[in-house]
């Protein structure tokens, strides 16, 4: 009887050991080819989508549905994720043995809907540095001027998806005025033909109670610029010294992603970003990158994966950049870029098109094509909509801000 128990115990250990070994090999990507009966070491491709339950195609063949883990031999594959009513997501990925490659496809509607946010016109909109607010002027050119003034719309939604209504910050005919946001997005410097005034972005102050700060305007801007520089230096301090040195010397505009894991920047000169600034990560992006940066071109650097991707070779303004000597570039430019709140996409607004693309410059998708006031298209923090300025080509009405529901 003791011998039988011993044999049973040994058999149990052997079975458990074999099972654990098989699980280990499976986790490392070993698979049996059902056709050749040979064992090969594969890589794993983990695909998710928002929304989920989309179809996955590998090299044109239907494979499974998201969310899924797919075992593939080492090599390069064309991956497509499709869902009815949404634009296709496509990417070429390279699979390496024993590595897990992950990708999340954010799918956008083929025919997005839109609705008006403002109704009395909106001129010269300017987003705050943190992209949570957009300030704009209203001038009705009529006897009923109660709507005239400076207004703010927030890009943050309340619970259950109800958006906050626009609110007035101050009154009056301000058509010849300009505004500058403070670095913390809490104050606005309003400059008019009769003075300069600091406005609290969270409350209403009538013109009759505004205090003229024209005499200290230069020092206010200097203090705001110092505040911006301190924040920027604190962000750059987290980077490898070789990279922060290049960005400080060779970038004319620089905006961190919302999660601060990526940097959108425009080069102000040629430079080379050294290789291997961080330890290589398994399953890192295999998309083509550019480490030899050139003057005037715009890039995104992925801090975690040490990858640098060319976004555009043409001139573009960066929303969120608040260097006051360059602030007019956004209003005068025909193209602008802004981070989408996922931190994995950017919004490119250009004449007649609003485009969303992955951070590595793949999956460029036109989510709106038509008349709008370039380059005024802005992301919101709700992930499911954008704001853009348009009158849809009408000549008898001013442009208003509209919500474009893309998810």
Q: How many other C-beta atoms can be found within 10 angstroms of the C-beta atom of residue 329?
A: 18
Q: What pLDDT sits at residue 257? A: 94
- Residue 223 falls inside a structural domain: no
User: Measured between alpha carbons, how far is 351 from 44 in angstroms, rounded to an integer?
Assistant: 41
User: Measured between alpha carbons, how far is 381 from 397 in angstroms, rounded to an integer?
Assistant: 29
Asked whether the CA dihedral 374, 375, 376, 379 is positive or negative, the reply is positive
* CA 328, chain centre distance (Å): 22
User: Measured between alpha carbons, how far is 18 from 249 in angstroms, rounded to an integer?
Assistant: 58
Ramachandran angles phi, psi of 321, nearest 5°: -85, 125
Q: Residue 225: is the preceding peptide bond cis (ω within 30°)?
A: no
Q: What CATH code is carried by the domain that includes residue 6?
A: 2.60.40
User: Measured between alpha carbons, how far is 259 from 262 in angstroms, rounded to an integer?
Assistant: 8
- Residue 119 falls inside a structural domain: no
Q: Burial of 41 by CB count in 10 Å (0-12 exposed, 13-18 middle, 19+ buried)?
A: middle
Q: How far is CA 351 from CA 87, 331, 340, 369, in A?
A: 21, 13, 19, 9
Q: Which residue, 358, 362, 322, 355, is CA-closest to 343?
A: 358
Q: Residue 38: is the preceding peptide bond cis (ω within 30°)?
A: no
- Residue 197 falls inside a structural domain: no
Q: What pLDDT sits at residue 407? A: 86
DSSP 8-class letter at 45: E
**Domain assignment of residue 79, given as a range:** 2-106
- Residue 266 falls inside a structural domain: yes
Domain limit, last residue, from 91, 106, 121: 106
Q: What pLDDT sits at residue 325? A: 55
Q: What pLDDT sits at residue 79? A: 94
* In contact, 199 and 150? CB cutoff 8 Å: yes
Q: Name 317's bridge partners.
A: 336
- Residue 337 falls inside a structural domain: yes
What is the count of structural domains for the chain?
Answer: 2
Angle subtended at Cα 312 by Cα 309 and Cα 317, rounded to the nearest 5 degrees: 115
Q: How far is CA 101 from CA 62, 64, 104, 332, in A?
A: 19, 16, 11, 41
Q: How far is CA 182 from CA 73, 201, 260, 295, in A?
A: 53, 10, 20, 28
- Residue 231 falls inside a structural domain: no
Q: Which residue, 386, 405, 389, 388, is CA-closest to 397?
A: 389
- Long-range own/partner contacts, residues 75-81 (CB < 8 A, 24 or more apart): 77/45, 79/45, 79/47, 79/103, 80/56, 81/47, 81/49, 81/54, 81/55, 81/56, 81/57, 81/105, 81/107
- Residue 57 falls inside a structural domain: yes
* In contact, 345 and 106? CB cutoff 8 Å: yes
Would strands 43-50 and 100-106 be described as parallel, antiparallel, or unpaired?
A: parallel
User: Measured between alpha carbons, how far is 401 from 390 in angstroms, rounded to an integer?
Assistant: 7
DSSP 8-class letter at 208: G
User: Measured between alpha carbons, how far is 232 from 128 in angstroms, rounded to an integer?
Assistant: 16
Specify the pTM: 0.85
- Residue 59 falls inside a structural domain: yes
* In contact, 217 and 192? CB cutoff 8 Å: no
Give the sheet arrangement for strand 178-181, strand by strand.
Answer: 178-181, 187-192, 195-200
Q: What pLDDT sits at residue 331? A: 54
Q: How many other C-beta atoms can be found within 10 angstroms of the C-beta atom of residue 348?
A: 21
Domain limit, last residue, from 106, 124, 151: 106
The H or E element spanning position 367 is strand 365-369
Domain limit, last residue, from 58, 75, 106: 106
Going residue by residue through the chain (407 aa), what tens digit of pLDDT does each one get? 566 766 666 666 666 666 555 555 555 555 555 554 454 567 888 999 999 899 999 999 999 889 888 888 888 999 999 999 999 999 999 888 878 888 889 999 999 998 999 998 999 999 998 889 999 999 887 666 788 999 999 988 655 555 578 999 999 989 889 999 999 999 999 999 889 999 999 999 999 999 999 999 999 999 999 999 899 999 999 899 999 999 999 998 899 999 999 999 999 999 999 998 888 777 778 889 999 999 999 999 999 999 999 999 998 989 877 665 555 555 567 899 999 999 999 999 999 999 999 999 999 999 999 999 989 999 988 888 999 999 998 888 899 999 999 98
Q: What pLDDT sits at residue 303? A: 94
């Amino acid at each position: 009887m003791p011998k039988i128990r011993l044999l049973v115990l040994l058999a149990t250990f052997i079975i458990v050991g074999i099972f654990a070994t098989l699980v280990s090999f499976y986790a490392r990507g070993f698979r049996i080819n059902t056709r050749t009966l040979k064992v090969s070491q594969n890589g794993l491709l983990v695909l998710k989508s928002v929304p989920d339950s989309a179809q996955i195609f590998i090299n044109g063949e239907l494979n499974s549905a998201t969310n899924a883990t797919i075992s593939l031999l080492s090599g390069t594959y064309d991956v497509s994720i499709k869902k009815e009513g949404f634009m296709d997501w496509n990417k070429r990925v390279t699979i390496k043995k024993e590595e897990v490659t992950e990708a999340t496809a954010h799918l956008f509607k083929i025919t997005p809907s839109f609705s008006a946010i403002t109704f009395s016109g909106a001129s010269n909109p300017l987003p705050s540095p943190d992209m949570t607010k957009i300030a704009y002027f209203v001038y009705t050119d009529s006897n009923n001027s109660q709507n005239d003034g400076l207004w703010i719309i927030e890009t943050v939604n309340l619970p259950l998806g109800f958006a906050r209504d626009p609110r007035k910050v101050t009154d009056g005919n301000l058509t010849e005025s300009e505004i500058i946001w403070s670095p913390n997005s809490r104050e606005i410097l309003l400059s008019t033909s009769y003075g300069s005034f600091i406005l609290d972005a969270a409350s209403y102050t009538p013109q009759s109670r505004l205090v003229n700060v024209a005499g200290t305007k230069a020092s206010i801007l200097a203090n705001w610029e110092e505040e911006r520089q301190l924040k920027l230096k604190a962000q750059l301090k987290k980077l490898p010294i070789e990279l922060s040195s290049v960005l400080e010397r060779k970038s004319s505009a620089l905006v961190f992603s919302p999660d601060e894991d990526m940097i959108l920047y425009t080069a102000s000169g040629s430079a080379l970003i050294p290789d291997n600034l961080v330890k290589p990560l398994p399953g890192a992006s295999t998309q083509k990158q550019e480490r030899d940066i050139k003057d005037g071109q715009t890039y995104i650097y992925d801090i975690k994966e040490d990858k640098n991707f060319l976004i555009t070779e043409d001139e573009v303004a960066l929303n969120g950049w608040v260097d006051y000597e360059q602030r007019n570039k956004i209003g005068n430019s025909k193209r602008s870029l802004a981070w989408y709140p996922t931190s994995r996409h950017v919004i490119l607004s250009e004449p007649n098109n609003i485009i969303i693309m992955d951070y590595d410059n793949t999956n460029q998708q036109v989510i709106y094509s038509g008349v709008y006031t370039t380059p005024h298209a802005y992301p919101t923090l709700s992930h499911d909509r954008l704001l853009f300025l348009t009158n849809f080509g009408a000549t008898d009405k001013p442009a208003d801000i509209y919500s474009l529901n893309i998810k």
